[in-house]
Structure 1
Amino acid sequence: MPQATTPDGVKLYYEEIGSGTPILFVHEYSGDWRSWEPQMRFFARRHRCITYSFRGYPGSDVPESASMYSQQHAVDDARHVLDHLKIAKAHVVGLSQGAFATAHFGRCYPDRALSLTLAGVGSGAGRDGHEQFKKNAQATAKKIRAEGMAKYAESLIGNPTRSRFKQKDPRGFAEFIRNLGEHPDIGGANTMENYQGKRPSLYDFEDEWKKLDLPTLIICGDEDEPCLQPSLYLKRVLPNAGLAMFAKTGHTVNIEEPDAFNREVWNFIALAEAGKWTPGHPEAIGASPV
């Protein structure tokens, strides 16, 4: 079983396939290494593709200590996977919690990223509601400790940001819920409490975002309401970012609309590698189109 060992002794499960320029896929809170299967199959045609599980997730070690979980751990673990595979630079693609990790990976280790894709990014990270989001995450962590991840997975069946996925692809949605219910209770609770429940707001890093000129693609479903404004914010503050909005699409965009997602990211990576994904004109903000 392929595993990368971090400096603090945590073994991270990963899988890789294909050859070419590397792409590292970083999953959401409610996902794991399996969440990127449609992307692994598609992008392996031309790229070396790597998917892995966060610490506390299926296949990886599940530390019991809460102190071994945080947003920074997730950022650093992405780098440790690349180090283990002796990959100097990769395109990094993240969804939701993984998009937070991807954004901060670019901020902390810009020399290790060829590009950044931030999908479903920003839930609970705006200026309004951030403290309440963290309180809600702490409360959810307590429920997971008491009731388990299978019960938490059931709660997402009625989540409005996931409902379009359920409507479009009942079979895929059922698989998503089933996989989530298999997550270790300790890992799920510790991640919810110490990553989701303690992460800073994206807006706290505005000065650093303005200096991050890596090619960046932001993807958001138009029914992923919590991520709409943060996605637009990042589009405006990151100097070399583009924003793709998918109509009638919710939070789990890469498996809800895999074909559209793959084509959008494929085009982005091709332009980035050709040096043609370039910054826009700052003066366009507030300008008239006529």
Structure 2
Amino acid sequence: MRADLRPDRSAQTSGPTRAAILSVMDVRGDDGCRLWVEQAGTGPPLVLCHGGPGLWDYLGPLARLLDGHARTIRWDQRGCGRSQRRGPYRLGRFVADLDAVRDQVAGPRTAVLGHSWGAHLALRYAIEHPERVSHLIYVSGTGIDPDHGWHPHYKRNLRLRLGPQLDRWEALSAHARTPAEERERAVLQWSVDFAEQGTALHHAERMATPWLGINHECNQALNAEVRQELSNSDMAGRCRALDLPVLIICGTEDIRPRWAVDSLHHALANSRRVSLAGAGHLPWVEKPDDFRRAVTDFLKQ
């Protein structure tokens, strides 16, 4: 592991003082792939898994909420953001990369938090390595039900919430895009992930800054594999065998249907579910105090 300590100006905030100087480093997967990692804060380790797939880590604001409560460890998944642009884009490989981050930075046992696609990655990691996970936090995931797909409902709700921006989003979606157009399309699409539409574009712009590009090959490959896995494996049975505390958090205004998570909640032996009213897909942005309280109370268990 090569560590490169330096301050991250984008992480500075007018809120509480940072509990520890940021450290930024490269971690190597077991196949040599270089993974960008940042850790900050003090307390028990908490590894954060961003969504996508094919995006980069955007969980800095979430990490800052937990200063003094956890040593947060953020990373860009392979092929994404500041990590090496290298496959293969397979679920097993991403689980192995998460284990490398855990082993080289977090220690022998850690809490793991995943958001959206990252929630499924964190769940799969806990299933594969339960002895290495102390707590699992599943944020705005889409569940494990293979029979009641959530995506058609998401696509319909996406178009409804885009409203007057729908025509522009569809025009951008209909042809090959320049990097600037790719960013514009992403900002429009991400804006529907916030409940308060008056500030939604502002929040989406912040997510897209800096713009590190979307790895569409990674996105398509992993989404296809997850769909196949949910259809062909007994994920509910594997979740029933999972003996560790799980916190499921979502926003009531997420355009992904919340009933999609019911099967996961019912399958887990030791889970708590928290729904934050008035929040969308990124509940820590719109309900930061409630989100912090739910997570820190859970981590004290």
Provide the C-alpha distance between the structure 2 equivalents of 1:145 and 1:85, rounded to a whole number of angstroms. Answer: 42
- Residues 29/116 of structure 1: CA separation in 2 closer, same or farther (3 Å cut): same
Once superposed, what is the RMSD of the aligned Cα atoms? Answer: 2.8
Give the structure 2 partner of residue 110 of structure 1.
Answer: 130
Which residue does the alignment assign to 2:166?
Answer: none
Q: Write the distance in 2 (CA, Å) between the matches of 1:91 and 1:131.
A: 29
Aligned partner letter, 2:56: D
Taking a change above 3 Å as real, the CA distance of residues 69 and 23 of structure 1, as seen in their structure-2 partners, is same
1:269 counterpart residue number: 299
What is the CA–CA distance in structure 1 between the aligned matches of 2:289 and 2:76, rounded to whole Å? 23
Q: 2:216 matched to 1:175?
A: no
Which residue is 1:85 aligned to?
105
Amino acid at match of 2:193: R
Q: What corresponds to 1:137 in structure 2?
A: none
User: Which letter does structure 2 place at the counterpart of 1:215?
Assistant: P
Are the equivalent residues in 1 in contact too, given 2:194–2:281 (CA < 8 A)?
no
Classify the secondary structure of the residue corresponding to 1:12: strand
Distance in 2 (CA, whole Å) between partners of 1:115 and 1:243 is: 14
| Structure 1 position 25, deviation (Å) | 0.8
Change (3 A) 1:130 1:231: closer
The normalised TM-score by structure 1 is 0.77
Matches within 5 A, 1:7-26: 7-26=30-49
Deviation at 1:213, TM superposition (A): 1.8
Which residue of structure 2 lines up, in the alignment, with residue 190 of structure 1?
217
Tell me if structure 1 keeps the 8 A contact 2:144–2:261.
no
Report how far residue 94 of structure 1 moved. Answer: 0.7
The TM-score with structure 2 as length reference comes to 0.75
Within-5 A mapping of 1:35-114: 35-63=58-86, 65=87, 68-85=88-105, 87-114=107-134
Aligned match of 1:201 in 230, 234, 242?
230
SS at match of 1:88: coil
Q: 1:32 aligns with which of 35, 40, 56?
A: 56
Contact 1:149 1:183 in 2 (8 A): no
Q: Could you tell me how far apart the structure 2 residues matched to 1:47 and 1:214 are?
A: 19
Structure 2: runs of 5 or more not aligned: 5-24, 154-172
User: Which residue identity lines up with residue 99 of structure 1 in the other structure?
Assistant: A
Q: Quote the Cα distance in structure 2 between the aligned partners of 1:205 and 1:32.
A: 27
Give the aligned residue type for 1:32: W
Identity over aligned pairs, percent: 22
CA distance in 1, matches of 2:98, 2:299: 19
Give the residue type in structure 1 aligned to 2:63: M
Aligned residues of 1:126 and 1:230 also touching (Cα < 8 A): no
Partner of 2:185 in structure 1? 155
**2:83 counterpart SS class:** coil
Equivalents in 1 of 2:30, 2:115: separation in Å? 25
Structure 1 residue 235 displacement after superposition: 1.4
Q: Which moved more, 1:105-114 or 1:17-26?
A: 17-26
CA distance in 1, matches of 2:254, 2:277: 10
Q: Indicate how the Cα distance of structure 1 residues 13 and 238 shifts in structure 2: closer, same or farther if over 3 A, else same.
A: same
3-state DSSP class of the match of 1:24?
strand
User: What SS does the aligned partner of 1:16 have?
Assistant: strand
Residues 138, 249 of structure 2: 8 Å contact kept = yes
Alpha-carbon contact 2:144-2:263 (below 8 Å) kept: no
Distance 1:96 1:258 in 2: 17
